[in-house]
Structure 1
Amino acid sequence: MSAVLVVNSGSSSFKYQLIDVDSRMPLASGLVERIGDPSTSSGTMGVAKHKVHFAASGDGSPTVTDATYVQELPIPDHAVGFAVMLDAFETHGPSLSEAPPVAVGHRVVHGGARFFEPTLITPLVEINIDELSVLAPLHNPGALQGIRAARAAFPELPHVAVFDTAFHQTLPPAAYTYAIDRELAEQHRIRRYGFHGTSHKFVSEAAAGFLGRPLEELKQIVFHLGNGASVTAIDGGRSVETSMGMTPLEGLVMGTRSGDIDPAVLFHLARRASLSIDDLDALLNKRSGILGLSGVGDMRDVEAGVDAGDPDATLAFEVYLHRLRAYAGSYLAQLGGVDVISFTAGVGENSARVRAGALDTLGFAGIEIDAARNEARGPGIRVISTDSSAVTVLVVPTNEELEIALQTLTVAAG
């Protein structure tokens, strides 16, 4: 068994998943959160959740358990959080001392222009991740804390960083360059980097495999629609255009993020509403998107509002779809046609209404959605276009943790 421990660490929490790469099955997963909360003064405790997906039966074969264990205790830092995680593995299984992972893979949001592939973590790589925190101040510092805690917990194992931005390092200069003063942009590393790269890579490759067609021959558009959302144009397996920019704020309308907006709006709000830089940051990242338009941040609640005749929910939904169609049309032009369009992530995989609405003006390109297929639910990859559609439209469940595990194992194996 080639098990890889995948870690996704933030400033006050981390998620983990132990994956058997051979079978592609998660053996266990968990979440450690509220790290660093002042438990002694406020009574707030850290929370650790550990879920065992498969355990060994009497004959040694795996059996499904899906048992979840929760505990509350002080977790002052990531090092203690990893100790809590290790104890959960030993107490509830599977035992990492008896069957240790072969490597640890770490999700890192921003690799800048320095990292274009999964990278074995060394002290120099840690320094680079730290330096790139200026581009992702909310993400890279937390990832670095998790990396250091994990390396202390597993000093004998190879640790690999898998960067959200790496898949988009194939963007051509015309796609990643912003039209501002060149010297200033170079000095401050201002360019489009793109995000959700592990998901876009996984989904585009899964779609090609499902269709039995060479990845190199396909022109694809992948919609990753969750609370954060992005769309990528992929030509022959290479990202050639993507909606997120220097940060994950640009592009589509998201749960709480505005996506594209005239930059002069910020100047206007600073001058007329006396909003500070921090106020504007919070506005666009936390109080905009469908939350800012409708008052709710979950697409299921927005759709319920639409059904109830709520005008705010209806407008939010229409704005959301308008942006999806705009990007779909743009990427059709950039690719010069498309073979496959895939929807993934929470909204993309579960909202038939969003999928239909995103493509309902693209009949001119030969795209036809089969209403019954689109409404049907089921596991795995499924086709939702008609048999006569010139473009195959798919729902492809993403698995970023598995993609990180696969890339980690490739690097660890040398």
Structure 2
Amino acid sequence: MKKVLSINSGSSSLKISLFAMPSEQRLAKIMVDYSNETNQLVTITLPNHELIAQHYTGKITPVELALDLLKKHQIITTSQEITAIGHRIVAGGELFQHSTKITPEVIQKLESISELAPLHNPANIAGILDAELLLPNCPQIAVFDTSFHTDLPPENFLYALPLEYYRKYKVRKYGAHGTSHRFVAQQAAKMLKLPLSKLKLITLHLGSGASVTAIKNGKSFDTSMGFSPLTGLMMSTRCGDVDPSALVYLLKHHAFSNMDECMKVLNQHSGLLGVSEVSRDMREIERESTRNPQAELAIKMFVKRICDYIGAYWLELGGADALVFTGGIGENDNHVRELICERLNCLGIKFESIQNQYHDSPFDFATADSQAHLLVIPTDEELMIARDTYELTSTKQSFSKSAVNY
């Protein structure tokens, strides 16, 4: 048995799980919620499903916090029991198209492409360096969100810019959330009792960050996030798709003092927060929506943009066997799921309202005559990270795939 630590740094939370491999038994799960920056909530779930919550305001690093909690609750006796560490890395660009063992050279390459995911990659790298300091002899593996999208056809990953910008600067669609989309697609195939290679799926990762992916024959065919995780759907604090001319206009009229401020607004002050002016949290926005028109508008915009992408991918795939909802909103917000599915009636999508509201995940809330299944599947990015980490540290292999030449 090997104990593998999986570290999943998101834009609003940090999830760390310890697995016994290859049995895939989760020994503990730790979550740090960054929603309240001054009073972060830390929860640890133990094997007996006991949930312990505490508030965290100290300066301790996330990996150090995880190790302390694991020892405190006697999940491990010493840090040396951990045999490998897997890290979720949002953006690998074309440098990293498969999970790979982390070396000093890999860290340098990651630093060189931090601009592709400015909210995530620097934090991911910090986690790697932190783990290296605390567990210097423990092998570490990078698992990339972008790797699932490396099979996109060129008509889907290229922008209609001069092709020289792709050749010289590698400006293209990379996508994100690939670890989550990959996991729920595999789970959907199990639920439907069909080979993933035979399915057409539209997977919706709806959380603080949000994206939609069209999956054809088990591979990502198109996805809503682009060059960075900023584009695509409207998100918690990210704007999603915006006409570039609008940004040039705002810069010319000094709405932003410089490009850095512009990027900060687009990444941290837009989306649900920017429109509602209430919160970045969908739960709070929904509570306010009955008396606050801006909160109601934010929900309508969020749903509308999701349906825009579903409609586009429905056409690209020629229909779909299932829509898969995952992520914090996708898994837990039956109201948002209902609003989305109501707009899809013209596609023959039909759902059971009661089934949508009261059911343990995973489940299917489509009617028998619906044109597609409506699956709610909890994502488990940490398990996918653990699987890749165990495989690479057991076989001592890493993979690299050359860029497509055009």
Q: Give the alignment's TM-score, normalised by structure 1.
A: 0.86
1:128 is aligned to 2:109: yes
- SS of residue matched to 1:364: helix
2:304 corresponds in structure 1 to 322
Q: Is the contact between residue 4 and residue 85 of structure 2 (CA under 8 Å) also seen in structure 1?
A: yes
Q: Is the contact between residue 10 and residue 146 of structure 1 (CA under 8 Å) also seen in structure 2?
A: no
Q: Cα 1:73–1:330, aligned 2, differ >3 Å: closer, same or farther? A: closer
Residue deviations 1:163-196, cap 9 Å, x none? Answer: 1111111111111111112223332221110001
Unpaired runs of at least 5, structure 2: 396-406
1:397 is aligned to 2:371: no
Of 258, 261, 276, the residue aligned with 2:239 is: 258
Q: Is the contact between residue 351 and residue 365 of structure 2 (CA under 8 Å) also seen in structure 1?
A: yes
Letter in structure 1 aligned against 2:294: D
Letter in structure 2 aligned against 1:192: K
- SS of residue matched to 1:251: coil
Unpaired runs of at least 5, structure 1: 38-43, 55-62
Of 337, 341, 346, the residue aligned with 1:355 is: 337
Q: Distance in 1 between matches of 2:119 and 2:306?
A: 26
2:398 corresponds in structure 1 to none
Q: Distance in 2 between matches of 1:186 and 1:237?
A: 28
Q: Percent identity?
A: 40
Superposed CA RMSD: 2.8
Q: Distance in 2 between matches of 1:98 and 1:303?
A: 43
1:40 corresponds in structure 2 to none
Shift of 1:205: 0.5
1:221 is aligned to 2:202: yes
Q: Is the contact between residue 117 and residue 229 of structure 2 (CA under 8 Å) also seen in structure 1?
A: no
Of 190, 201, 213, the residue aligned with 2:171 is: 190
Q: Cα 1:175–1:101, aligned 2, differ >3 Å: closer, same or farther? A: same
Q: Is the contact between residue 222 and residue 231 of structure 1 (CA under 8 Å) also seen in structure 2?
A: yes
1:165 is aligned to 2:138: no
Shift of 1:283: 2.0
Greater Cα shift, 383-392 or 154-163: 154-163
Q: Distance in 1 between matches of 2:109 and 2:243?
A: 32
Q: Cα 1:294–1:170, aligned 2, differ >3 Å: closer, same or farther? A: same
1:102 corresponds in structure 2 to 83
Greater Cα shift, 112-121 or 14-23: 14-23
Letter in structure 2 aligned against 1:115: F
Q: Is the contact between residue 12 and residue 208 of structure 2 (CA under 8 Å) also seen in structure 1?
A: no
Of 279, 283, 286, the residue aligned with 1:303 is: 286
Q: Cα 1:49–1:248, aligned 2, differ >3 Å: closer, same or farther? A: same
Letter in structure 2 aligned against 1:347: I
Residue deviations 1:212-243, cap 9 Å, x none? Answer: 11000000000111111100000011001000
Of 296, 317, 322, the residue aligned with 1:335 is: 317
Query: Residues 41-80 of structure 1: matches in 2 within 5 Å?
Result: 49=42, 51=44, 53-54=46-47, 63-68=48-53, 74-75=59-60
Q: Is the contact between residue 107 and residue 161 of structure 1 (CA under 8 Å) also seen in structure 2?
A: yes
- SS of residue matched to 1:328: helix
1:59 corresponds in structure 2 to none
Letter in structure 2 aligned against 1:363: N
Q: Is the contact between residue 255 and residue 290 of structure 1 (CA under 8 Å) also seen in structure 2?
A: yes
Q: Cα 1:67–1:253, aligned 2, differ >3 Å: closer, same or farther? A: closer
Report how many aligned residue pairs link the two structures. 391
Of 365, 384, 387, the residue aligned with 1:406 is: 387
Higher-Rg member (1/2): 1
Q: Cα 1:71–1:134, aligned 2, differ >3 Å: closer, same or farther? A: closer
Of 266, 278, 300, the residue aligned with 2:260 is: 278
Q: Is the contact between residue 33 and residue 40 of structure 2 (CA under 8 Å) also seen in structure 1?
A: yes
1:178 corresponds in structure 2 to 159
1:367 is aligned to 2:329: no
Q: Is the contact between residue 52 and residue 94 of structure 1 (CA under 8 Å) also seen in structure 2?
A: no
Q: Distance in 1 between matches of 2:163 and 2:248?
A: 22
Letter in structure 1 aligned against 2:349: I
Q: Is the contact between residue 11 and residue 208 of structure 2 (CA under 8 Å) also seen in structure 1?
A: no
Q: Cα 1:374–1:69, aligned 2, differ >3 Å: closer, same or farther? A: closer
2:128 corresponds in structure 1 to 147
Q: Distance in 2 between matches of 1:73 and 1:206?
A: 38
Higher relative contact order, structure no. (Cα contacts within 8 Å, ≥ 6 residues apart) = 2
- SS of residue matched to 1:411: helix
Q: Give the alignment's TM-score, normalised by structure 2.
A: 0.88
1:117 is aligned to 2:98: yes
- SS of residue matched to 1:248: coil
